[in-house]
Structure 1
Amino acid sequence: MARISAPVAAVRQAVRAALGGLPRGARVLVACSGGADSLALAAATAFVAPRFGLEAGLVTVDHGLQEGSAERAARVAAWGRVTGFDPVEVATVEVAGPGGPEAAARSARYAALDDAALRWDAVAVLLGHTRDDQAETVLLALARGAGPRGLAGMPARRGRLLRPLLGVPRADTRKACAALGLSPWEDPHNADFAYARSRVRGQALPALVAALGPAVVDNLARTAELLAADTAALDALAATALAAARTEKGLSVAALAALDPAVRSRVLHAWARELGAPGGALSQKHVAALDALVVCWHGQGAAHLPGGAAVARRKGLLVRVESDPL
């Protein structure tokens, strides 16, 4: 029996760990762009899934942003069929919306993957983000001044989305593809410094590695893992506190004031989302304005949230209002 290369083994082991708890007979989908990360993930899933009694399908998303994108998607789909994936689907999306082209493409991609999972009754959708992607995400969050939630990076599991390769270096996915005789697609956007992530990938992170050593990538990814655990614990406390502070008309100011600030900010953030504030637009300044209604009350007017909601303090409660109270 031929010995498999260490990178192939590392990717397969990561996929085994992610799929091990899923029920036999269930279906999973792999999101595959044809790049090295998702191609290595797909190849490993094709190997591991049948051994776990799982059905594996493949979805490749055509964003239509580059010349030849439809042909690229068709090639990925053809490879998926030959490799044994079933179903195999090309999801063509329209990229439009707020937040710039990166955010709009991401939103369209995740919507397409969610739709495919629903139609094919998939219990999980596997994404090819690696340890290096996680490190880049942490750096981008630092640059934005994000709090612990942003610095926690991408979760290994959120709903049906699984990211098996967050502990695998990007270099290993390339080596795995080479060992398996696969030819990854090189996305030109990854080398286009008009995009913030491309600048982090091509300039910022290499500069940190040069200055601090290669361990900085592992350390950034480990920071995300540690903060994710802390954030999950605080979120659980906040969920309990939100339920305790809730009344028929709003939130009790007294109950909120008694909370630790770290928990209270999460309660107010979660409540703002309930009121319709979009997560991408809801910032710390909005949460701070809500917090001021609790701990720095001096008769100020309503705090206005993205999405059109406003919150005022009335008779010991934070309540939603349509305009500043008189």
Structure 2
Amino acid sequence: MDRSGPGLAVVPSHRPALLPEGPALLEIRRAVRAWLVAHPGPVVVALSGGADSLALTAATVAEAPNVRALIVDHGLQVGSAEVAATAAARAVKLGVVDARVLRVQVSGSGGMEAAARKARYDALNLARGDASVLVAHTLDDQAETVLLGLGRGSGPRSIAGMAAFDAPWGRPLLGVRRGVTRAACVELGLEPFEDPHNTDTEFTRVRLRHEVLPLLEDVLGSGVAAALARTAKQLREDGRVLDAMAESVLDADAAEIEVSAIETVEPAVRRRVLRRWLLGRGVTSLTDRQIRAVDALVGRWTGQGGVALPGGTPEARLVCSRRHGRLSVGLEN
């Protein structure tokens, strides 16, 4: 049952015919099957109506029982309700046990793209129940994410891209090219919805997709997207080791940190210690620059003032300060 608020449910009245056995759909089914073996449990599919999510829905229905589809209507385009209803109807024909449209209001800071993403993920999280949510990010999406992280200089955690499972979000298609999902839709006889935002060059990711990655492929040779995805995987593996080392250094629930307890720790590990501790002290999000500024209170201490961090109030900012050899986080006017 949808717990996210008003929505439209489409319930199938019969089981669909067997899906075709084309090579593209079979590749996607193998990817979904491997993900389900690694992460067993109930799943729902986030469906937009585009080629990636349609192919994911078809493959998941073939590989898992009692699959539900969740379709988010952002209301940002004329006809968005019809697009969502069509996606729900297609999900039913593919064999989901329930297809539900979730209508959201997009607002907030950070631009339309970020606001829409937050509204979408919030709605999916509320409606999923106890199931994991499968999203249709592909290898191409992973490559774009790595390039965005590189361009922003936001550190290895950003360049590491997206994980196959970051509860409750599952990404079975991170090893599948976007062209394969389109070929699967041809095999299924489905014409996917083409989101006009995906060709709008006002969005940085769109320019990466249509201008930067093709240029890199031309200059460096084919296989750039796959190489970027491999780099992301290697960084995630290294990051897990460093995170485990950081967890052994300090209790993240500590109200304060004795500088002497961490000043000799290797900087890569120390920054992870500080990140865990800051998030535990009410900091809502962190950039690499902010973490490094806090780390300077330990490793390059010259008597400097505190570091302003996100998570304060309209009346007071949240600040990490060093006093008498200790780090603490508190509100300052």
Q: Give the corresponding residue for 2:177.
A: 169
Cα distance in structure 2, aligned partners of 1:206 and 1:272: 40
Equivalent positions of 1:68-147 (< 5 A) are: 68-118=79-129, 121-122=130-131, 124-147=132-155
CA shift at 1:2, angstroms?
A: 10
CA shift at 1:246, angstroms?
A: 6.3
Cα distance in structure 1, aligned partners of 2:80 and 2:331: 46
Q: Where in structure 2 are there 5+ consecutive unaligned residues?
A: 1-17, 312-316
Q: 1:43 aligns with which of 24, 42, 58?
A: 58
Cα distance in structure 2, aligned partners of 1:311 and 1:82: 54
Q: 1:255 aligns with which of 256, 261, 284?
A: 261
Q: Does 1:59 align with 2:74?
A: no
Q: Does 1:301 align with 2:305?
A: yes
Asked if the contact 1:15/1:164 (under 8 Å) is kept, the reply is yes
Q: Deviations over 1:63-95 (max 9, x none)?
A: 111111100000111112232212211011111
CA shift at 1:116, angstroms?
A: 1.0
Equivalent positions of 1:174-323 (< 5 A) are: 174-243=182-251, 247=254, 249-279=255-285, 282-307=286-311, 308-323=317-332
Q: 2:29 aligns with which of 12, 16, 41?
A: 12
Whose helix fraction is larger, Structure 1's or Structure 2's?
1
Cα distance in structure 2, aligned partners of 1:77 and 1:268: 44
Q: Deviations over 1:82-111 (max 9, x none)?
A: 322122110111111121111111111111
How many residue pairs were aligned?
Answer: 311
Give 1:251's aligned amino acid.
I
Give 1:77's aligned amino acid.
A
Asked if the contact 1:27/1:57 (under 8 Å) is kept, the reply is no
Q: Deviations over 1:139-180 (max 9, x none)?
A: 111111121100000111001211000000000000011011
Q: What secondary structure does 2:30 align onto?
A: helix
Structure 2 CA distance for partners of 1:2 and 1:110, relative to 1, 3 Å: closer
Give 1:293's aligned amino acid.
L
Asked if the contact 1:303/1:310 (under 8 Å) is kept, the reply is yes
Moved more, 314-323 or 214-223: 314-323
Give structure 1 regions of 4+ aligned residues with deviation exceeding 4 angstroms: none
Q: Where in structure 1 are there 5+ consecutive unaligned residues?
A: none
CA shift at 1:22, angstroms?
A: 5.0
Structure 2 CA distance for partners of 1:276 and 1:321, relative to 1, 3 Å: closer
Q: What secondary structure does 1:183 align onto?
A: coil
CA shift at 1:19, angstroms?
A: 1.1
Cα distance in structure 1, aligned partners of 2:38 and 2:156: 28
Q: What secondary structure does 1:313 align onto?
A: strand
- What's the C-alpha RMSD, in Å, of the aligned pairs? 1.9
Q: Give the corresponding residue for 2:5.
A: none
